[in-house]
């Protein structure tokens, strides 16, 4: 895991690239029987957020996470930069239904533009484990899915949005 957020972007890219550990089948990777809610408390289908032609950066967060509070604005700006393009950000809060209003307030206070879902902590942990084979270690956690839903990278802890954008450009250039 990367602890020093002052590393140059190249080091972040290397760390993200090293984190490329698994390949998960496209729609099966993102389809989920696990219940997630939108910020209105309504159930949503996870697969609706994964498009065949779009990279999806999933940020797992909590309203009590100080690092999440610091990082989320930059990822919202990245989402806005690519609003009509190849990259989208999807937030997944592990605050659960009981913390729905706190999660909503957290996002509202920071003017977050990307869509967010809320799940019970164990549901978010199951979602993560199903896709990675690993235990969720903390927040924030970033998962980068290629178009069609293949998991290509993951990182626990902060990741500069510019590093994610550069990683995605490099992956697109290889294709």
pLDDT digits (tens, 9 = 90+) for 10-68: 444 444 444 443 333 333 344 445 589 999 999 999 888 998 999 999 999 999 999 99
- pLDDT, position 112: 98
Residue 18 class from Cβ within 10 Å (0-12 exposed, 13-18 middle, 19+ buried)?
exposed
pLDDT score recorded for residue 22: 33
Q: Residue 33: what pLDDT? A: 52
Instruction: Please report, for the chain, the start and end positions of each structural domain, with discontinuous segments joined by +.
Output: 9-151+161-174
Please state the pTM of the whole predicted model.
0.82
pLDDT tens readout for residues 102-132? 999 999 999 999 999 999 999 999 999 999 9
And the tokens for 94? Answer: 């592990």
CATH number of the structural domain 9-151+161-174: 3.40.30.10
């Amino acid at each position: 895991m990367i602890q020093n957020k002052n590393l140059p972007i190249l080091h972040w890219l290397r760390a993200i690239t090293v984190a490329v550990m698994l390949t998960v089948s496209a729609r099966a990777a993102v389809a989920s029987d696990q219940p997630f809610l939108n910020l209105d408390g309504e159930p949503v289908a996870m697969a609706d957020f994964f498009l065949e032609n779009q990279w999806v950066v999933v940020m797992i967060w909590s309203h009590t996470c100080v690092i999440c509070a610091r990082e989320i604005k930059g990822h919202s700006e990245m989402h806005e930069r690519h609003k009509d393009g190849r990259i989208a950000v999807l937030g997944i809060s592990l605050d659960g239904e009981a913390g729905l209003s706190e999660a909503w307030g957290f996002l509202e206070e920071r003017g977050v533009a990307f869509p967010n879902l809320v799940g019970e902590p164990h549901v978010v942990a199951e979602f993560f484990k199903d896709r990675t084979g690993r235990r969720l270690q903390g927040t924030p956690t970033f998962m980068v899915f290629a178009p069609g839903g293949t998991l290509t990278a993951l990182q626990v802890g902060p990741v500069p949005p510019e590093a994610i954008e550069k990683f995605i450009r490099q992956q697109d250039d290889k294709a």
